[in-house]
Amino acid sequence: MSSEEKRQALKAKIEAAEKRNEERSLGEMAKEATDKATDFVKEHPFATLAGVAVVGLAIGAMTRPGRRAGQQVGRKASSLASYATELGLAYASGMMATAGNVAEAGKDKLEDFGDALNDNAGALRRQAAYKSGNAAAAARGFTREAGKKAGRSIRDLRNRAGK
């Protein structure tokens, strides 16, 4: 289908729609508009409420009592926001204090652990010193006994050789 043919088909559709619109009565158009609005409200209730609220605020802002009411609501909303901010700050402060307490408890645990390690290391050092002292004493005793035996053996050998 060429572009000219498409254009002609589109014109025909537009003319048919205009003819149908002319034939419809105002009552039919109102009923159709009502049905469409009802369907929209059923499908989108929150959007409808938001729209009504915006229209109500716009109309209220155009009247003197509406402006006064808006100022009062604004003041109340401001004070509510400040209360919410204070609550948030108090909550954050409490969380920071809790975090500080947890950090302090962790530090205390690390100190205790370090002290326990130091105590154990001292005990191990004392045991090692004791055992090395015992080993040194045993080695000295062994050396002394070996020296005595060697000396006696040499003396015995000299005595046998000298005879």
pLDDT in 10s for each residue of the chain, 163 residues: 788 888 888 889 888 888 877 776 777 777 888 888 888 888 888 888 888 777 777 777 677 776 666 667 667 777 777 777 888 778 777 788 888 888 888 888 888 887 887 787 778 778 877 877 777 788 788 888 888 888 888 888 878 877 5
The one-character DSSP state at 142 is H
Q: What is the pTM of this model?
A: 0.32
Cα separation, 51 vs 47, whole angstroms: 6
Residue 24 φ/ψ, nearest 5 degrees: -75, 150
How many whole angstroms separate alpha carbon 137 and alpha carbon 139? 5
Instruction: State how far the alpha carbon of 87 is from the alpha carbons of 53, 97, 101, 114, in Å.
Output: 29, 15, 21, 41
